[in-house]
């Protein structure tokens, strides 16, 4: 019998390795768009484009991660327009297709074909134009930053100023250099930026010269080049609610043309030189094909809900792949795919636009990271096998670590690293959220009703790195068609060590300041004042923080904060049933998060295959706060908890809601939710919940297949697990089959 089983597993593994490649379905429009809200994403490396055809013209915005200006706004590189005489895109044969398998876009009509893609290995965009007959064409670069633009108070939400608007706040103009076949656009930050203001405002000037500063003097540029187009004129116009100036390049007899757009965000981001368009096309399409072989979820029947969910899962994962090798993470509030803000929200009753700002606008800032939202974009990359995309997020914390250690020592005189919740890309709290401090008060604390004492969000990113190390595959276990470049996740261990050290030393410091004992009689740390997310404030031993500290400390092993010094996760009785408590005690409820379920996810203290599953289910089903706050909106993660607790009907309902099409034309351009459009933290939480419905693990590594999956949803998947395992599973008419490598 044992030999038979071994032979069967070997054959199944062989079948998996030689199975047909997964090819995601192309996504096509057969009619033009009304405006940029009806754009389609395209990109790669660290670049995202919004592409659409409007009134016969092909338009596209370009964003690159890291384009931070002096106000810490994440600027767009610009907008391009291709106008071709004769309206070739106006006929019934019009097609705009996103080819997911190759990662490129094709726009065709009336004997004209335009192909647009980004080189995965270099920050370079290529445009290839093929026409069956000669045509007159104009390629234009359109800029709203042709002049200094004053920022209103409302508009400053796009920056780190928020409501602390300085006098004469502006977005500085770009510099333009036109040549016969080339246009160079440069944005140069001054040396003095919002970084300098923040340092002074937060009373940390003594350390200024040693603090990390990614925006002072930063220089970003974009070069558009084509031997097929010649500079023609400069014109002015208006799009949406913004005036612009256009640099126009003409070709009066075009049959074939190639255009390159090379971006530089101020940091050397290319892993290889751009090379020729032909080379770029070949290697980029190959990368995208391999990307889809890493993991997939596909319907194995005709159930419309499964097909819809799987399609939107692929479309959103494509958007994440467009920033695979960025040095900065995909922002939860729109990522690289924001469009004209005037189209995000409906206008007022009198027709006044809600957001009459430039295309650079987004709420919640460009260089500011709201960690509670940001984490959801990166957790699903473990099971999808996209470990090489995670350093964009984790390196951000690594760059901020010296500042987090220095500010801790400066404010409180003890060790460890303190990371705030709304934190700038240079490692200090957002100045507007930092609040007002009376002379001589604790300058290290954020005087903010939502953010005070919330220091634990960094621990999720610590755990991501620790989990990624467990998921790291050996070269022999990865299917040959889907190589995953190795990443040294041990580099991030100091973030976890210093974060744990902070909690240990800081809460002993607070106790002494308050005149109380640093530790309880049993030698346990008292976490007070604490914060259960942004919701349960002035909390005593909040369950989300306790679970985080215990889980990270256990995973690290040898840590500055031993498990024996940590309190237990607090419990309480509701209607005679034991539930997880938000905290031992708290003074007020400020937001609508449910930290009492964080011990389920992300911390996995409770759940399927773990002790006291009933306690966690009681919390989900009976806690009045959890019930009142239940939603599938935005960053809400009830779908994840339902899946982790094996509540199949709940998981199904919330999964369908999460993956429902957004209000804009592209299905996964979701509405702002609590943040901005397209809402990436909704997409990330949707992905996590779907993955958990398909595959979970017990603490000892036992795999649970389809733990919260409806029996009538036929599906096949490939996902990743710890110990470098690759798992394929199929459920068809309620019957499960699976293979595991190794």
pLDDT value at residue 19: 62
Least confident window among 194-203, 269-278, 332-341, 493-502: 269-278
For a pLDDT cut of 70, what percent of the chain falls above it?
95
> Average pLDDT for residues 23-51, to the nearest whole number?
98
pLDDT value at residue 97: 98
The three-class DSSP label of residue 223 is strand
- Structure tokens belonging to residue 576: 């005679």
pTM for this model (two decimals):
0.96
Contacts of 660 (CB under 8 A, 6+ apart): none
pLDDT digits (tens, 9 = 90+) for 150-187: 999 999 999 999 999 999 999 999 999 999 999 999 99
Tokens 């206008």 — which residue? Answer: 347
DSSP sequence for 45-99: TTEEEEEEEETTEEEEEEEETT-B-TT--B---EEEEEEETT-GGGSTT-EEEEE
> What is the rounded distance in angstroms from the CA atom of residue 99 to the CA atom of residue 34?
22
> Average pLDDT for residues 363-367, to the nearest whole number?
97
pLDDT value at residue 203: 97
Model confidence at 615: pLDDT above 80: yes
Residue 248 banded pLDDT, cuts 50, 70, 90: very high
pLDDT digits (tens, 9 = 90+) for 445-496: 999 999 999 999 999 999 999 999 999 987 555 555 666 678 999 999 999 9
Q: What is the dihedral of CA 191, 197, 202, 203, to 10 degrees?
A: 70
Q: Report cis status (omega within 30 of 0) of the bond before 509.
A: no
pLDDT value at residue 10: 32
């Amino acid at each position: 019998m044992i030999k038979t089983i071994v032979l069967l597993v070997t054959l199944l593994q062989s079948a998996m390795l030689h199975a047909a490649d997964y090819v995601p379905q192309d996504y096509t429009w057969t009619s033009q768009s009304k405006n940029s809200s009806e754009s389609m994403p395209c990109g790669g490396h660290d670049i995202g484009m919004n592409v659409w055809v409007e009134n016969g013209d092909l338009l596209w915005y370009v964003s690159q991660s890291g384009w931070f200006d002096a106000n810490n706004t994440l600027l767009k590189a610009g907008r391009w327009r291709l106008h071709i005489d004769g309206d070739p895109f106006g006929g019934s044969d019009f097609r705009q297709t996103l080819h997911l398998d190759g990662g490129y876009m094709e726009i065709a009509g009336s004997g004209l074909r335009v192909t647009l893609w980004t080189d995965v290995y270099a920050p370079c965009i290529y445009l290839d134009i093929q026409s069956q007959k000669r045509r007159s064409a104009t390629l234009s670069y359109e800029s709203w930053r042709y002049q200094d633009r004053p920022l209103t108070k409302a508009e400053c939400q796009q920056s780190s100023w928020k409501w602390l608007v300085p006098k004469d706040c502006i977005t500085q103009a770009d510099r333009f250099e036109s040549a016969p076949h080339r246009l160079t656009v440069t944005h140069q930050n001054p040396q003095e930026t919002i970084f300098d203001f923040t340092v002074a405002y937060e009373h940390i000037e003594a350390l200024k010269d040693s603090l990390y500063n990614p925006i002072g003097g930063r220089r970003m540029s974009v070069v558009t080049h084509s031997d097929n187009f010649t500079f023609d004129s400069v014109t002015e116009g208006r799009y949406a609610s913004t005036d612009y100036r256009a640099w126009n390049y003409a070709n009066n007899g075009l049959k074939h043309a190639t255009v390159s757009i090379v971006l530089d965000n101020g940091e050397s981001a290319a892993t290889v030189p751009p090379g020729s368009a032909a080379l770029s096309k070949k290697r980029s399409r190959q990368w995208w094909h391999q990307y889809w072989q890493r993991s997939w979820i596909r319907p194995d029947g005709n159930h419309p809900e499964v097909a819809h969910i799987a399609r939107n899962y692929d479309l959103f994962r494509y958007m994440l792949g467009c920033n695979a090798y960025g040095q900065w993470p995909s922002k939860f509030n729109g990522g690289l795919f924001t469009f004209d803000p005037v189209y995000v929200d409906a206008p007022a009753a009198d027709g006044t636009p809600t957001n009459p700002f430039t295309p650079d606008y987004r709420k919640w800032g460009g260089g500011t990271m709201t960690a509670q939202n940001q984490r959801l974009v990166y957790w699903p990359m473990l099971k999808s096998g996209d470990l090489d995309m995670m350093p964009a997020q984790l390196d951000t914390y690594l760059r901020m670590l010296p500042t987090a250690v220095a500010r801790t020592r400066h404010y409180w005189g003890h060790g460890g690293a303190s990371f705030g919740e709304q934190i700038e890309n240079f490692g200090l709290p957002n100045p507007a959220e930092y609040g007002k401090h009376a002379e001589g008060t604790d300058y290290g604390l954020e005087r903010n009703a939502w953010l005070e004492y919330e220091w634990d969000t960094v621990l999720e990113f610590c755990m991501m790195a620790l989990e990624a190390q467990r998921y790291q595959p050996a070269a022999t276990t990865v299917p040959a068609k889907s190589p995953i470049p190795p990443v040294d996740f041990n580099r991030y261990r100091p973030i976890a060590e210093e974060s744990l050290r902070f909690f240990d030393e800081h809460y002993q410091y607070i106790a002494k300041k308050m005149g109380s004992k640093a530790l309880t009689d049993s030698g346990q740390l008292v976490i007070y004042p604490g914060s259960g997310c942004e919701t349960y404030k002035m909390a005593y031993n909040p369950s989300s923080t306790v679970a985080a500290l215990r889980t990270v400390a256990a995973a690290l092993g040898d840590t500055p904060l031993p498990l024996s010094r940590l309190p237990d996760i607090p419990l309480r009785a509701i209607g005679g049933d034991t539930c997880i408590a938000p905290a031992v005690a708290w003074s007020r409820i400020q937001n609508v998060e449910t930290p009492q379920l964080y011990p389920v996810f992300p911390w996995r203290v409770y759940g399927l295959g773990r002790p006291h599953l009933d306690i966690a289910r009681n919390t989900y089903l009976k806690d009045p706060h959890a019930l009142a706050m239940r939603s599938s909106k935005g960053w809400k993660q009830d779908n994840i908890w339902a899946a982790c607790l094996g509540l199949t009907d709940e998981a199904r309902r919330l999964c369908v809601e999460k993956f429902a099409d957004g209000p804009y034309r592209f299905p996964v351009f979701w509405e702002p939710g609590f943040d901005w459009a397209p809402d990436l933290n909704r997409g990330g939480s949707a992905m996590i919940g779907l993955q958990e419905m398909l595959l979970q693990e017990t603490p000892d590594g036992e795999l649970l297949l389809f733990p919260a999956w409806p029996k009538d949803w036929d599906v096949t998947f490939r996902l990743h697990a710890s110990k470098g395992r690759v798992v394929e599973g199929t459920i068809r008419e309620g019957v499960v089959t699976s293979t595991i490598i190794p």
